[in-house]
Amino acid sequence: MEYRRLGASGFSVPALTFGTGTFGGGTEMFKAWGETDVAEATRLVDICLEAGLTMFDSADVYSKGAAEEILGQAIEGRRDRVLISTKATFRRGTGPNDVGSSRFHLTEAVHKALKRLKTDYIDLFQLHAYDAWTPHEEVLSTLDQLVREGKIRYVGCSNFSGWHLMKALATADRHGWPRYVAHQAYYSLVGRDYEWELMPLGLDQGVGAVVWSPLGWGRLTGKIRRGRPRPEVSRLNSKAAVDSGPQVDDEYLYKVVEALDEVAAEVGKTVPQVALNWLLQRPTVATVVIGARNEEQLRQNLGAVGWDLTKEQVAKLDAASARPLAYPYWHQKAAFPERNPFPVEV
């Protein structure tokens, strides 16, 4: 397994990270992802470690904390062999302080996560969303204290806008607090908005991408094609899951899948393997979070590494997945590419 530098930090992470959204199935939405129990999770962790995949990503809201608990049990006795990434910010109770990135909530969230994970430190802790109520100084000073206490080692964010992230980085620099070295962001062949603002920012500021839902919310598994019924087992059969995820036009999806089919036939790989490999060649991408309901899916996703698409194959996928740009990006591309180029072809 290839290891990559996480942003501008001195920390290395595997090119693939295992996501635990399938662990537990504690809510309607997460049942649509999977219902992996401790025994199954332990087997999946075994396979990951055999392949050199050592980082596991979770969050306190995944199945109401059950995903972290299952992960903690699955890695018990081998904490020194794994890296743990987790997140908090979303509401986790009915009280007025059971939500957000306040000092109160983040401190409570980290302490509870450590108990569920059965560990005394978290390798990468990320804010799961941007809290516009809480001042950056309060957020970052809290994270600084948690780093100093040894409870977390590196900090990141998730689902931030460009100005959210830049303001946080400027605040950290001003006070000498830890900078976000990771941005856990949605990015896929059917969701390339990340390239417009967040990728250039990541390159400029040394923030690595931890990519979530790299298969477009289950759309790039190779099972969804023009003229075929949707598979019986899919998160796309759950209204709660569909409504909470990215929206993708069917015709656009089919166009991308058809291009993936062509490239997959050329390289002798599967559609998801090609989609994941495309991501691994994009600027700023430090690690791609893969999920799996079972051993077969996991082994297939692990086959995305150890080889590379050609420049011509990447260009074919770029062309098939291109979308009209929002303002001001279409103007920047059309009017002044000489001095303000995009990092990739958009």
Q: What residues contact 76, with CB distance under 8 A and at least 6 apart? A: 118
What count of other Cβ atoms lies within 10 Å of the Cβ of residue 161? 12
Nearest-angstrom CA–CA distance, 126 and 143: 10
Q: Which two tokens stand for residue 246?
A: 């990215």
Amino acid in position 45: V
Nearest-angstrom CA–CA distance, 178 and 172: 6
* Beta partners for residue 191, in sequence order: 188
Q: What residues contact 341, with CB distance under 8 A and at least 6 apart? A: none
Q: Which two tokens stand for residue 86?
A: 């987790």
Per annotation, catalytic residue among 62, 130, 180, 186: 62
Nearest-angstrom CA–CA distance, 139 and 228: 48
Q: Which two tokens stand for residue 87?
A: 């997140």
Q: What residues contact 6, with CB distance under 8 A and at least 6 apart? A: 12, 13, 124, 154, 181, 182, 208, 210, 286, 287
* SS3 state at 138: helix
Nearest-angstrom CA–CA distance, 271 and 257: 8
Cα end-to-end distance, the chain, whole Å: 29
H or E stretch at 301? helix 295-302
Q: Is 62 a catalytic residue?
A: yes
Nearest-angstrom CA–CA distance, 130 and 135: 11
Q: C-alpha 279: how far from its chain's center?
A: 12
Q: C-alpha 125: how far from its chain's center?
A: 13
Active site residues: 62
